[in-house]
Structure 1
Amino acid sequence: MTVTVLPILEPDTKPAAPLAKVMNERLIRFAKELQEIHLKALESAEPLFDDVVVYISYNSKYSIRWKIVNDVPGNIEAEVAGQCGRLGYIKWKTAAYGVIDKS
């Protein structure tokens, strides 16, 4: 299984806010660690030709939130949820399809 974790970064502002830059770099690092360390075991999960794509971002309180953005089996979703929960990440809740979540 191919595991992809994508950080959803805050857009660059002019002039660049130092805090935004630090937070974006931190999010990139967390995405890499989640993909290469914490979800590494999923690479050998069956079926091997499937993908799991996870977005991570900050909510308005600067907590890290996550969501799986493609269809995956329940056991894969449970594994991602377990790993993210151990890291203190919260599930990214969206009220409805196509609605931008402000949390």
Structure 2
Amino acid sequence: MRSAAENAVYFQQCGQLLNILSNAKRLQVVLTLANGEQSVTHLAHEVNMSQSALSQHLAKMREAGVVRTRRQGLVVYYRLVMPEFIGLLKEVVLYLEANSKKA
């Protein structure tokens, strides 16, 4: 069982993660990276964003520990730090799709 202080830290971390993922574009980036590591150029094309706008989102995601980078020459690649989280996100998407059809 966690102490009150440990719970406070835990809930703060959960809140920070959910805050990062509450942005539609960042969520789209996460779901796109679920297919595997991608270069910034390819990722920008996939999520229909400029590289500069995407870089701002990726910086926040990297700071929150959602993604990691790998550099190969001049190309920067991004990958998810916690791929097991994707199953949960896909369930949320399926839930929303199912409920939007009921409305």
Q: TM-score, normalised by structure 2?
A: 0.29
More strand by share: 1
Larger Rg: 2
More helix by share: 2
Q: TM-score, normalised by structure 1?
A: 0.29
Q: Which has the higher contact order (CA 8 A, sep 6+)?
A: 1
